[in-house]
Amino acid sequence: MTDFSVLDLVPIREGGSVGDALAAATALARTAQDAGCERFWVAEHHAMKGIAGGATSVVLAHIGNATSTIRIGSGG
């Protein structure tokens, strides 16, 4: 069986906030975990308007607190 992973840029949608982006990333990680994905990656991009993944340690801590079995990391 093939292992699947998810890579998320943690985009801030137009009219949204960083908090909204973190909530969406957390929901996506939970969905990926429930679907049986092995890993959830957060892309690290600094100083890019519309991307909340500049501080991946903060994003990953938030996601790690909300999930239990999926492996998390930064990359991309």
**CB neighbour class for 65 (10 Å; exposed up to 12, middle 13-18, buried from 19):** exposed
Please tell me the distance from the alpha carbon of residue 69 to that of residue 67, in angstroms, as a whole number.
Answer: 6
Instruction: Record the pTM.
Output: 0.91
pLDDT at 45: 82
pLDDT at 17: 95
pLDDT digits (tens, 9 = 90+) for 16-68: 999 999 999 999 999 999 999 999 999 988 878 899 877 899 999 999 999 99
Does residue 1 register a pLDDT over 80?
Answer: no
